[in-house]
């Protein structure tokens, strides 16, 4: 119980210490993020406002955890569902990487990285590893050499610097490291951790959880080794054998009781079962919603829940832990937009309901259609990324977009006096992306409709008017005689009279 209370206090202290604004004063020498990305995803730009946020049905909007976060990991709930059989389960937690490379979790770690991974040990302590400077793998262990010794401590002592690593994965008693040549190194004692000789030089992606591991091979096949108590390593169901029948995988995600694989066409497949019920029937969290097929760019798992990040920056959570107490705890997460990464979890303090941690991006503006407007206003098009559902204000006055997508907003800027006006574009975090526009008196017009009329006239109205007019004059008989008679009659009168006067 004492350890449980201490852990809760530390979680609270971290939340209170959250900074209000990003700090970009320190630049770390780090490998490119592209070197650790297995599939194209919405970009998380260095020195752009990307925020780690907490998503729960208890709050109407996501809650800020830490600003300026480019990567994060979650240590999930324990397996099985209680801690030592007596005390309440410890809540989930997180570790993150800032844009300057600083790594944080419970307090700030003296480390630099681009990717971080966190997991629990057998005794429920937290292990954290990261890919840092010069592609090395480092980490800290929650294992206590007196109370809870574990192999992760030995790994940190003897293998802290593995050159050219592109991915790292943690189980409860083992560590996997993938290098840029496709080789996997494994340290630990979990079942199946050392069944890796056939995979040397062939692996493109890895994942670990509990006591099983998943690997994606260069040919798109998926291999799984380790514990299979819940069909998380292998399952034959509905005429399909997992993962043997998978041919075009690009990513895998190992959950406590189930596994997911992301295919190259953006489709997700999953496996895992309740052996006491029916080992041939897949768990709900192993069956992705059919409407996300072809749109998924990233996947993640937790106990009783799965998550997919879609190509348009929206997400989808599903699984047994979504509906708890008659409440859909995944509903808020499934309305999110502008998401760059999401990891689901469950809140063990409230009946195991689903929650999520997500990097939600502030709007990124790349261009605008105009910067100068008449005092009557006009149409402003804003182009960029992560613009969906952004709030737009002109000098503090809200304007409603007529076009609202992740890459474009179109608004009608209101009437304004001559001079500058500030445009604020805000997302969930309420940090402002802003720019100025100018209202010019020389562009002022009597009515709001005249400006669009003059713009269209040269390209549409004028050519259409001239062509029919010329044709009608040549082909209308009634007009031609009248035109000639009117011209000849005055000529004769003026010519004859001057000759007779002398």
Which tens digit of pLDDT belongs to each residue from 170-204? 988 788 889 888 988 887 765 555 556 567 778 99
User: What element of type H or E holds 112?
Assistant: strand 107-120
Query: CA angle, corner 350, sides to 298 and 141, nearest 5?
Result: 60
Examine the pLDDT at 28 and tell me if it is beyond 60.
no
Give the confidence band of 163 by pLDDT, cuts at 50, 70, 90.
low
Q: Residue 304: its pLDDT value, please?
A: 92
What digits encode the pLDDT tens for the residues 258-317? Answer: 999 999 999 999 999 998 889 999 999 999 999 999 999 999 999 999 999 999 999 999
The pLDDT of residue 205 is 95
Q: Residue-wise over 162-183: b if at least 16 C-beta within 10 A, else e?
A: bebbbbbbbbbbbbbbbbeeee
- In this prediction, residue 302 carries a pLDDT of 93
Higher pLDDT, 351 or 282: 282
Task: Give the pLDDT of residue 379.
Answer: 95
* CA 451 to mean position of chain CA atoms: 40
Residue of higher predicted confidence among 146 and 93: 93
Bridge partners (DSSP) listed for residue 174: 188
- For 218, phi and psi rounded to 5 degrees? -60, -25
Nearest to 310 by CA among 291, 323, 329: 291
The larger pLDDT score, comparing residue 18 to residue 322, is at 322
Closest of 53, 39, 51, 124 to residue 84, by C-alpha = 124
Instruction: Give the other-Cβ count within 10 Å of 241's Cβ.
Output: 13
Could you give the domains of the chain? 2-12+34-361 (2.130.10.30), 364-443 (2.60.40.10), 450-500 (no CATH)
Q: Please give the residue that has the higher pLDDT: either 365 or 25.
A: 365
Residue 85 pLDDT > 50: no
Residue 485 pLDDT level (bands cut at 50, 70, 90): very low
Number of CB atoms found within 10 A of residue 142's CB: 20
Of residues 239 and 15, the one with the higher pLDDT is 239
How long is the chain?
Answer: 502
Please name the residue that has the structure tokens 């890459």: 407
- The percentage of residues in the chain with a pLDDT greater than 90, rounded to a whole number, is 46
Per-residue pLDDT band for 58 (boundaries 50, 70, 90) equals confident
User: Using CA atoms, how far apart are residues 254 and 93, in angstroms rounded to an integer?
Assistant: 18
How much is the mean pLDDT over the chain? 76
Helices (H) and strands (E) in the chain, counts: 5, 37
The token pair that represents 136 in the structure block: 């090395």
DSSP for 322-357 reads SEETTEETTTTGGG--SEEEEEEEEETTTTTEEEEE
pLDDT band at 484 (very low <50, low <70, confident <90, very high): very low
Q: What is the pLDDT of residues 410-447, one digit of tens each?
A: 999 999 999 999 999 999 887 888 999 999 987 754 33
Q: What is the pLDDT of residues 315-340, one digit of tens each?
A: 999 999 999 888 899 999 999 999 99
Query: Residue 81 — pLDDT band, cuts 50, 70, 90?
Result: very low
Q: Which residue has the higher pLDDT, 66 or 144?
A: 66
Q: What pLDDT score was predicted for residue 107? A: 59
Provide the percentage of residues in the chain whose pLDDT is more than 70: 69
pLDDT for 89 = 54
Can you tell me the mean pLDDT for 135-147? 72
Does residue 165 or residue 336 have the better pLDDT? 336
Rounded to whole angstroms, the Cα distance separating 117 from 129 reads 5
Residue 483 pLDDT > 50, yes or no? Answer: no
Q: What is the distance between the alpha carbons of residues 215 and 197, in angstroms, rounded to a whole number? A: 13
């Amino acid at each position: 119980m004492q350890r449980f209370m201490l852990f809760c206090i530390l979680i609270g202290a971290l939340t209170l210490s959250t900074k209000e604004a990003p700090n970009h004063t320190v630049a770390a020498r780090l490998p490119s993020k592209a070197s650790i990305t297995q599939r194209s995803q919405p970009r998380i730009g260095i020195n752009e406002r990307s925020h780690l946020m907490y998503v729960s049905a208890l709050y109407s909007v996501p809650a800020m955890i830490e600003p300026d976060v480019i990567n994060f990991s979650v240590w999930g709930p324990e397996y099985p569902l209680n801690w030592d059989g007596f005390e309440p389960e410890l809540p989930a937690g997180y570790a993150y990487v800032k844009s300057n490379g600083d790594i944080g979790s419970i307090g700030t770690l003296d480390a630099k990285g681009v990717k971080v991974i966190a997991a629990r040990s057998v005794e429920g302590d937290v292990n954290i590893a990261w890919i840092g400077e010069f592609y090395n793998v480092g980490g800290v262990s929650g294992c206590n050499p007196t109370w809870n010794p574990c192999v992760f401590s030995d790994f940190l002592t003897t293998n802290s610097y593995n050159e050219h690593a592109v991915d790292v994965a943690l189980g409860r008693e083992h560590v996997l490291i993938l290098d840029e040549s496709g080789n996997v190194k494994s340290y630990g004692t979990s079942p199946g951790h050392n069944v890796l000789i056939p995979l040397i030089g062939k692996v493109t992606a890895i994942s670990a959880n509990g006591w099983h591991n998943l690997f994606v091979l260069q040919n798109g096949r998926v291999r799984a080794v380790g514990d299979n108590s819940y069909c998380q390593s292998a399952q034959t169901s509905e005429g399909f054998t997992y993962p043997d029948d998978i041919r075009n995988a690009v990513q895998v995600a190992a959950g406590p009781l189930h596994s997911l694989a992301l295919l190259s066409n953006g489709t997700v497949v999953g496996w895992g079962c309740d052996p006491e019920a029916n080992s041939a029937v897949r768990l709900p969290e192993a069956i992705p919603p059919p409407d996300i097929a072809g749109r998924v760019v990233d996947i993640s798992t937790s106990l009783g829940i799965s998550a997919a990040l879609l190509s348009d920056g929206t997400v989808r959570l599903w699984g047994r832990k979504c509906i708890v107490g008659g409440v859909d705890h995944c509903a808020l997460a499934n309305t999110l937009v502008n998401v760059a990464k999401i990891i689901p979890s469950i809140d063990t303090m409230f009946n195991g309901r689903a929650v999520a941690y997500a990097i939600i991006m502030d709007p990124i503006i790349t261009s605008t259609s105009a910067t100068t407007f008449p005092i009557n206003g006009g149409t402003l098009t804003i182009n960029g990324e992560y613009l969906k559902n952004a709030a737009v204000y002109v000098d503090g006055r809200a304007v409603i977009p007529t076009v609202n997508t992740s890459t474009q907003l179109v608004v009608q800027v209101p009437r304004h006096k001559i001079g500058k006006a500030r445009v604020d574009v805000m997302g969930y975090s309420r940090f402002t992306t802003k720019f100025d526009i100018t209202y010019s008196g020389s562009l002022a017009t009597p009515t709001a409709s005249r400006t669009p009329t003059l713009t269209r006239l040269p390209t549409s109205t004028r050519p259409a008017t001239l062509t029919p007019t010329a044709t009608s004059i040549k082909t209308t008989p009634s007009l031609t005689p009248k035109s000639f008679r009117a011209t000849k009659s005055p000529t004769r009168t003026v010519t004859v009279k001057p000759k007779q006067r002398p």
